[in-house]
Amino acid sequence: MRRIWLAVAAVATGFGIWATHFIAMLAFQPAVPSGYNIAWTIMSLLAAIALTGTGLTISTSPRVPHGRWIGGAIVGGGIAVMHYTGMAAFEIAGRVVWDVPLVAASIILGGLFGAAALPVALHANTVKWKALGASC
């Protein structure tokens, strides 16, 4: 049953993260023609599901030392992977240039915030700890 619930959690969380990102991207209206590559868009969704599932599985495994921290980092990094894969799906009549240090910093910070948030949220099954985890 644990595996089923982790799969359900991964799908629900992955879709939620992805939908939030994609709706925001749809709201962006540049002054030039733009669109979305369907393959990259689907890959961003699958990345969100797979990495969220991996992070949640590791974070709930009693056999992994510091699993909550590692799992949280994977979830946070997974959000970054989903974001940048989704951004790769964005097609525009122009050239996209990435600021590599800024991209690296965002991925690292996402992993760090995830590594902090998940152990806090999983500390106890109370509203207080869930709210504290969400505020990380």
pLDDT in tens, 77-132: 999 999 999 999 999 988 889 999 999 999 999 999 999 998 898 888 888 888 88
Whether 52 contacts 82, CB under 8 Å:
no
What is the amino acid identity at position 37?
N
Q: What is the 3-state secondary structure (H, E, C) of the chain?
A: CHHHHHHHHHHHHHHHHHHHHHHHHHHCCCCCCEEECHHHHHHHHHHHHHHHHHHHHHHCCCCCCCHHHHHHHHHHHHHHHHHHHHHHHEEECCCCCCCHHHHHHHHHHHHHHHHHHHHHHCCCCCHHHHHHHHHC
pLDDT in tens, 35-64: 999 999 999 999 999 999 999 999 999 899
pLDDT value of position 52? 95
List residues bridging with 35 in a β-sheet: 91
Work out the number of other CB atoms within 10 angstroms of the CB of residue 1: 5
Q: Model pTM?
A: 0.86
